[in-house]
Amino acid sequence: MLSRLIEISLENRFIVICATLLMAVAGLNAAVHLPIDAVPDMTNVQVTVMTEANSLSPVEVERFVTYPVEWTMGGLPGIEELRSVSKFGISVVTIVFKEGTDLYQARQLVSQRLPDAAAQIPAGYGQPRLGPLTTALGEILQFEVRGRQQTPMELRSILEWEIAPRLRAVSGITEINVHGGYYKSFEVRPDPLRLSSFGLTLEDIFARLSENNATAGGGYVVHDDEQRFIRGQALLKDVEDVQEIVLRREANGVPVLIRDVAEVDIAPLTRQGAVTRDGRGEAVVGMAMMLVGANSREVVERVKQRLEEIAPTLPPGVEIEVIYDRSALISRTLHTVVKNLFEGGSLVVLVLLTTLGSLRAGLVTAMAIPLSMMFATNMMSFFGVTASLMSLGAIDFGLIVDSSVIMVENCIHRLSHNAEGRSRIDVIRDATIEVRQPTMFGELIIAIVYLPILMLQGTEGKLFRPMALTILFALLGSLILSMTFVPAMASLALPKKVKADDVWLIRAIKWFYRPWVTRAIAHPVLTAGIAASIFLVSLPVAMNLGAEFMPRLEEGDLLIEVNRLPSASLEGSIGLSTRIEKLLLEFPEVKTVFCKTGRPEIANDVMGVQQTDVWVMLKPHHEWTEHHNREELIAAMSAKLNEQIPAATFGFTQPIEMRVDELVAGVKADVAVLIYGDDLALLGKRAKEIERLLKTIPGAVDVKADYQANLTTLTVVPRRDALARYGVDAQKVLDVVSAIGGHEVGQIFEGRARYPIVVRLPEAWRGDVSLISQLPVAEAGGKPIPLGELADIQLEETPPSVEHDQNRRRTFVAANVRGRDVASFVAEAQAAVRDKIQLPAGYEIRWGGDFENLQSASLRLVLITPIVLLLIFLLLHTTFRSVRLALLIYLAVPMAASGGIFALALRGLPFSISAGVGFIALFGVAVLNGLVWVSAAEHLRRAGKPLDELTAETALSRLRPVLMTAMVASLGFLPMALSSSDGAEMQRPLATVVIGGLITSTLLTTFVVPAIYPWFVRERARL
């Protein structure tokens, strides 16, 4: 079949070339519209249920809201993990489904259960709703709305009601999250003393406000054969309307109005978050959240274009400034990928032109590189594979061009020996048909190496499956082109006569190689012993490499997590964040700084007011003046912040890294010690002990226990006997309590904007416990009954948050690791915790964060690697029908592994999943080299050549193809291994392993295999 395909391609060269060009044009179009991101989206399949729980404490949120939601969602099919966090006024339950579950189906399953969950939540304690349809990479753009004359409240209203609705209409945007500023409200502040003097209660105000702010429909009447609709409208429009509401009419006919007992004003709603920027005070920020599966590059451009269109329509003086743009990171990593691919491809072409000895042959072979990539982009577009640092960055053009190299090299060989004067097309047809099987077999070996990578699951699967698919697509394209386009172009472009001599470079290498290989063949035991020694020496080196999940992608920006005591106020946090910004702006590498304290309206990050995320936008690295790298800058920043601001703890990470860690693992850190139990106080105590212990372990930075201290809570508990004595309902007591923070009773509409009407006690009454106890609740005998008479008012300690995992309470201690590998750090930390931390029965400790991903991925690599090796062995056995020869070629695997290990050690790189995938890819290339050599030797042996002659002859004749295969593969990865630009750290371990392994495996093929080949064929090598 393959022979016929080659013949048809040569008979229809014009059609084949035209079809290839059409494929290339389609590939270019696909590449332009291909979804591109910096890294693959590693978020698992999860659905978030959020419930705003008014002003309930964390324990009350857990009891009344979180438990009902968890119980309702617990029986859903395909659930892998169920975790939650209950904080002041909010519950967030995250339901993680098994990998492969359709996200829309998962959301549908959850939404079907939401009514059941809502029915179990007491009235007035919140309505559960689904979180936005986005992922960890969904926060693609943030912008500040600034105004010279507008207040933060006015800017917030402009963003909320003028900018955000128009941005939500942009294709690919699922939500616009608003953070900072003040949300406008119409605040009614009743004076408790005036209420008492008029014999009124808060319940009267609640009722009158609701009854005087409504609309009604009266159907329609027919007038002169026309319908006239009837409606009544009693909507409040402004402060004056609220002030004029009648509360009661006195006996003398004089009405008591709201303005007689209360002040009415426009005031900010109680908030749980704020934003500051560049040390100049509060700011108003919008965050564009991308729909899952959308093309981030295109969506960012559409949002920025829409912002430019909106800007001229805003009030005078209002400006929009983009402060975080994901496309900047995408552009930097894309530049790294394109630069590395171009440099690697150029080196491969240079090798081809140098070693093939023919400019035309080199160009024909090199054309397979871009054409194979165009084929791959078509397939990526069809199968929905996103282009990223991982999917494109690990492509080695040396591997892709292998099949075309074999074809063209044999064509040149046959043309140089065309003594009969046959036509060029006949010679090329015979030459390509002759090597069709080894060509396909070589591509098959490489493909089989990458196929098991598709079995990776979880975070590592999301990282490396796109890479494996892209390489498989490119290999398929290369194989098809080698059977169709390359023969057609070779028949047109190659010269009719080619010199049989090697090029000068190959001649020089052979001159140096001949005496050494002769010595190796003469001393096979010594040669084999040296090879075995190299492998044995690599074993202890491998044991001391250390391990980490993945190298940290340099995003180009920093995110600093700041924590204060849970009792800290929002106002205090704002002052702190302003000081932090001023300190960080002293570093010349910093472009801008903004701090996000607490949580925004859509709580995609459930933080308390004591928690602040500091976004540090850095200048391009070539503009840095004082610090040479990221580690130096972080160390300097950490030292300054800890010295100047002792009342807080600081943790350094990056924007995307933080969101991925939090959404995937629930903890924003490299390592998390998860402690499970029921007693929150005991959990908090053990967490502090583990925090102190981890701080003593080398490499631990940013160590902090989630549970630092309790919150002081003022609790009002009605006394049943007092309620019965005065005939007062408990609800009236609770109405007074809700009015302390603000009791919403309706809305006022201003165009499409809507603002709440809130009844809230004056600030003078809210801040003093003694005054709170005097708040009038009801009347008895014409006298007001104070709150202190009806309820116990006491100060209590409550936890700042309550976390659940699989319906169990948990807390955690988070730590980042710098200056050493994660695996050795965790091993030392686990030993220390086992020795010094004692837990009672029913309590347990688990280790999570990035370390958990490393464990999972390592286990899968342990399962996948033997499968890869077994498949390669079966292919080799199928080819030679000999176990001995298969084992001979198989010796390349340990030798290649040794080279990869030495390369990692020399560069100071720990073992990572990226390096592990590099080892898997390396084994295929190393085996391919051995296959080329043994195939040639077997051909001569069957022709009757003596063993002592054929080993030397094969070593010299196969030197060029062996070196070409190794050089194009290793040089294709060289730019990735040496690059220091953004994103290169993800590719560096993989490229380092392949290059180092190819050096040792090539030495094995060129020296060791010729020396020991007679050992494997002296007897009949068939089993």
Confidence of residue 735 (pLDDT cuts 50, 70, 90): confident
Q: Residue 903 region, left (φ>0) first, then alpha (ψ -120 to 50), else beta?
A: alpha
Q: CB neighbours (10 Å) of residue 281?
A: 12
Q: Mean pLDDT across the stretch 311-316?
A: 92
The CB-side HSE value for 232 (13 A sphere, CA atoms) comes to 7
pLDDT at 186 exceeding the cut of 50: yes
Q: Mean pLDDT across the stretch 468-489?
A: 87
pLDDT at 553 exceeding the cut of 80: no
Q: What is the C-alpha to C-alpha distance for residues 108 and 336, in angstroms, rounded to an integer?
A: 40
Domain annotation for the chain: domains and CATH numbers: 1-33+357-501 (1.20.1640.10), 44-134 (3.30.70.1430), 184-269+712-798 (3.30.2090.10), 503-554+849-1022 (1.20.1640.10), 558-711+801-846 (3.30.70.1430)
pLDDT of res. 104: 92
pLDDT of res. 1023: 39
Nearest to 410 by CA among 442, 376, 369: 442
pLDDT at 814 exceeding the cut of 80: yes
pLDDT of res. 924: 78
Nearest to 618 by CA among 642, 651, 654, 658: 654
pLDDT of res. 411: 79
Q: What is the C-alpha to C-alpha distance for residues 455 and 500, in angstroms, rounded to an integer?
A: 47
Local structure of residue 331 (DSSP, 8 states): H
Nearest to 438 by CA among 405, 396, 471: 405
Q: What is the C-alpha to C-alpha distance for residues 146 and 152, in angstroms, rounded to an integer?
A: 9
pLDDT of res. 605: 67
pLDDT of res. 728: 86
pLDDT of res. 759: 93
Tokens, residue 723? 């309620």
Nearest to 653 by CA among 642, 663, 661: 661
44-58, 281-295, 471-485, 594-608: least confident range: 594-608
pLDDT at 1021 exceeding the cut of 50: no
Q: CB neighbours (10 Å) of residue 512?
A: 8
Q: Strands, DSSP E only, in 498-619?
A: 557-563, 590-598, 611-618
Local structure of residue 461 (DSSP, 8 states): H
Q: What is the C-alpha to C-alpha distance for residues 244 and 172, in angstroms, rounded to an integer?
A: 47
User: pLDDT tens for residues 630-667?
Assistant: 888 998 999 999 889 887 888 888 888 777 777 666 67
Alpha helices in 817-891 (DSSP H): 822-836, 850-880, 883-890
Residue with tokens 């995307």: 656
Q: Strands, DSSP E only, in 915-990?
A: none
Q: Are strands 753-759 and 184-190 parallel, antiparallel or unpaired?
A: parallel
Q: Are strands 671-676 and 776-780 parallel, antiparallel or unpaired?
A: unpaired
pLDDT of res. 65: 93
Residue with tokens 């936008």: 617
Nearest to 853 by CA among 85, 46, 43: 43
Q: What is the C-alpha to C-alpha distance for residues 388 and 329, in angstroms, rounded to an integer?
A: 11
User: pLDDT tens for residues 117-157?
Assistant: 999 998 888 899 998 888 877 888 999 999 888 899 999 99
pLDDT of res. 499: 64
Nearest to 460 by CA among 550, 330, 333, 552: 550
Backbone CA torsion sign across 781, 785, 790, 792 = negative
Residue 28: helix, strand or coil by DSSP?
Answer: helix
pLDDT of res. 244: 92
pLDDT of res. 604: 60
User: pLDDT tens for residues 871-924?
Assistant: 878 877 777 778 888 888 888 888 888 999 999 999 888 888 788 888 877 887
User: pLDDT tens for residues 191-245?
Assistant: 988 888 888 888 889 989 999 998 888 888 888 888 888 989 889 999 999 999 9
pLDDT of res. 875: 79
Tokens, residue 705? 């226990």
Residues ≥6 apart with Cβ < 8 Å to 776: 192, 195, 196, 201, 784, 785, 786, 787
Q: What is the C-alpha to C-alpha distance for residues 316 and 597, in angstroms, rounded to an integer?
A: 29
Residues ≥6 apart with Cβ < 8 Å to 199: 779, 782
CB contact at 8 A, 215 and 235? yes
Q: Mean pLDDT across the stretch 159-183?
A: 91
User: CB burial class (10 A; 0-12, 13-18, 19+) of residue 870?
Assistant: exposed
pLDDT at 629 exceeding the cut of 90: no
Q: What percent of the chain has pLDDT over 90?
A: 22
Higher pLDDT, 915 or 767: 915
Backbone CA torsion sign across 647, 653, 659, 663 = negative
Q: Mean pLDDT: which of 19-23, 379-383, 623-627 is highest?
A: 19-23
Q: What is the C-alpha to C-alpha distance for residues 352 and 346, in angstroms, rounded to an integer?
A: 10
Backbone CA torsion sign across 34, 994, 556, 40 = positive
Identity of residue 675: I
**CA–centroid distance for 616 within its chain:** 19
Q: Distances in Å between the alpha carbon of 940 and those of 384, 774, 957?
A: 48, 106, 11
Q: Mean pLDDT across the stretch 428-454?
A: 76
pLDDT at 1022 exceeding the cut of 60: no
Q: Are strands 557-563 and 318-325 parallel, antiparallel or unpaired?
A: unpaired
pLDDT at 618 exceeding the cut of 60: yes
Q: Mean pLDDT across the stretch 733-752?
A: 88
Residues ≥6 apart with Cβ < 8 Å to 884: 1016, 1017, 1021, 1023
Q: Mean pLDDT: which of 33-37, 465-469, 945-949 is highest?
A: 465-469
Confidence of residue 1020 (pLDDT cuts 50, 70, 90): very low
Confidence of residue 20 (pLDDT cuts 50, 70, 90): very high
Backbone CA torsion sign across 483, 489, 491, 497 = negative
Residue with tokens 């990035």: 850
pLDDT of res. 455: 79
Q: What is the mean pLDDT of the chain?
A: 84
pLDDT of res. 1: 66
